Structure 1
Amino acid sequence: MNVSVKWEGVYPALLTPFTADDQLDLPLFEKNLHAQLDAGIHGFIIGGSLGEASTLLNDEKIALLESALGVSDGRVPVLVNIAEQGTKQAIARAHEAESNGADGLMLLPPMRYPADSRETVTFFSSIAQETSLPIMIYNNPYDYKIMTTVAMFEELAKLPNIQAVKESTRDLTNITRMRNAFGDRFKLMGGVDTLALEALLMGCDGWVGGLVDAFPQETMAIYELAKAGQVAEALAIYRWFMPLLELDIHPKLVQYIKLAATATGIGSEYVRAPRLTLVGAEREQVLQVIQTSLANRPVLTTVH
């Protein structure tokens, strides 16, 4: 039985841990999931950009889904990301996710092809009509070169299972545009770590996080304090967190965040080719950021 997706709170975009011989490291994956649940996160997202989706085989995605469903055991929803070049393939992945127990989907626009507005709306709509699962549209024109505009969401609003938006435009005014246009029709989830507190204060319902993969407690503290109106306390943690959060907006975010998760004991550095693990001065520079932050880790404020 599917877990209801409320589209609020903190949803880690999960890393995919590998072994030294390039197999899925499911025990380490599950260790990270338990750390996330212990911190109080609200949902899991499998196979996103941070999960190295483009390098995963379909059966590996299913193995990760089954593992996450087992750990979650109905406590939080488990979402599968769909990132495909073709509509037919995207529909097939949606069917697989649904038949294997996923609670919801995150949809990226078509990969590689710079689809226009009509093509993008048709792509999203075609997938939504082929599944009963609730859907979050990933709006990230910065990385994927396709902007899902308010006018496009007016069309998508006709489909009841398109329920949420991962807001990664890097334009905070877009949150207000969406609220002005649609009220609460779409749940909004901030999707850029370095704008996360701002997005929450502008009215986002939740945070799809990256550094949460290494620092779940701190991520949850910021979310809970922001939602409780304890902005000064949230801001103090956020300012400490910012050098780490900036690791999320780099082309090597996977390697950087995996290094952070290794430092906190809930990840490993292994990545899948063509990515390579960090070496030399770059690795030392990122480690310095991580180690400096760990040395100054804040005492977390509780909500009152």
Structure 2
Amino acid sequence: MSTLPRQSGVHPILYAYYTADGRLDRAALERQVDVCLAAGCQGIAVLGLVTEVFRLSTAERLDIVEWAAARIAGRVPLMATVAEVSVHGQLDFIAEAKVRGADWAVLQPPPVKGVAEAEILRFLGEVADRAVLPVGIQNNPLNMEVSVSSAALLALHRRHPNIRLMKAEGPAVSVADFAQEAAKTCDVFAGHGGIEWPTALRSGCQGLIPAPELIDAQVAVFRLWQAGETERAEALHRAVLPVIVFMSRSLPLLLAYGKRLMALRMGLEAVHPRLPEPAVTAFGMAEIARFAALLGPLSVRPAPLSPALRRLAHLD
């Protein structure tokens, strides 16, 4: 099993883009990696809800792991969410994901309704104990049909030492006690697009796993926070909060509009659908264009926070 230091910071989870014939677009994935690394992200994740993991075949999921790992080239750790629904399927996927370059495996409660919480924990614990990579657990009661309690997550981590990361999604006030306790021995990450990013940092979280369209701003918030410039961090967060709220109303909205905002910001000319695709409206696209103009482009070269974002947050 590989060993990794404690994790923190912003680890964006990448979108799946498609070519005109509906296949995965490797060039678009690589461009996402480039702009996220240029923005200073502390890690990269793939294959969660943002990557539309359940619309991908197992072969496509492994391709995404391989392409991302090759582009990252060891500069930051790579997390890969595991979507198979059996213990053996998950273990096989984790083993192959490691071969393809993943550094972490992120498990979700299996999407089987009506199963007792104890059985879900037994499933996750068995995978964690036998996995060849360090394991994280994602628990997202708002966007996933199956979830477990915070107390159960703490017990799971204590019984299975290979579980070393938790993505605890929910209102910060609801997960604060869990985050403060779990963070003593485990890396705790927030989600939900970073809608409460500074509050999550105060609550005990060490990191954030958001969609990537605000990567430059959210990395800057983390850096300002680390430097003790909490008022400037809060100002920058407030400046981008309307964009986060627009995206966070539902997962279909995020996949419809967040993906297109990311495409505009990184200079991708077209977003091709993989049917069935969430519908967009003329008004929604006008809002996305307005957001893109306010935020400015994402660069493939390391650079300070863009003038557009600095103006938006009144940081100068």
Q: Give the alignment's TM-score, normalised by structure 1.
A: 0.89
Question: How far apart in 2 are the matches of 1:114 and 1:281?
Answer: 40
CA spacing shift, 1:216–1:282, aligned 2, 3 Å? closer
Instruction: Pick one of 290, 295, 299 that aligns with 2:310.
Output: 299
Equivalence for 2:138: 138
Question: How far apart in 2 are the matches of 1:289 and 1:76?
Answer: 28
Question: How far apart in 2 are the matches of 1:221 and 1:80?
Answer: 24
- Give the secondary-structure state (helix, strand or coil) at the position aligned to 1:144: coil
The sequence identity of aligned pairs, in percent, is: 23
Aligned AA (1:229): G
How far does the alpha carbon of each residue in 1:122-153 deviate from its partner, in whole angstroms, 9 at most, with x for none?
11112112212111110111111412322442
Equivalence for 1:239: 238
Equivalence for 2:191: 191
CA contact (8 A) 2:134 2:162 kept: yes
Equivalence for 1:62: 62
Q: How does 1:1-304 map to 2 (within 5 A)?
A: 4=4, 6-145=6-145, 146-180=147-181, 182=182, 184-192=184-192, 193-210=194-211, 213-246=212-245, 247-252=247-252, 253-267=254-268, 268-292=270-294, 294=296, 297-299=308-310
Unaligned runs of 5+ in 1: none
CA spacing shift, 1:151–1:99, aligned 2, 3 Å? same
Question: How far apart in 1 are the matches of 2:273 and 2:48?
Answer: 14
- Give the secondary-structure state (helix, strand or coil) at the position aligned to 2:106: strand
CA spacing shift, 1:251–1:85, aligned 2, 3 Å? same
Question: How far apart in 2 are the matches of 1:39 and 1:294?
Answer: 13
CA spacing shift, 1:152–1:204, aligned 2, 3 Å? closer
Question: How far apart in 2 are the matches of 1:18 and 1:5?
Answer: 34
- Give the secondary-structure state (helix, strand or coil) at the position aligned to 1:7: coil
Aligned length: 299
How far does the alpha carbon of each residue in 1:185-213 deviate from its partner, in whole angstroms, 9 at most, with x for none?
12111112211221012221111111xx2
CA spacing shift, 1:141–1:74, aligned 2, 3 Å? same
How much is the aligned-residue C-alpha RMSD, in angstroms? 2.5
Question: How far apart in 1 are the matches of 2:258 and 2:271?
Answer: 9
Question: How far apart in 2 are the matches of 1:3 and 1:101?
Answer: 14
1:97 deviation in Å?
Answer: 1.5
Unaligned runs of 5+ in 2: 298-306
Deviating more after overlay: 15-24 vs 284-293? 284-293
CA contact (8 A) 1:189 1:207 kept: yes
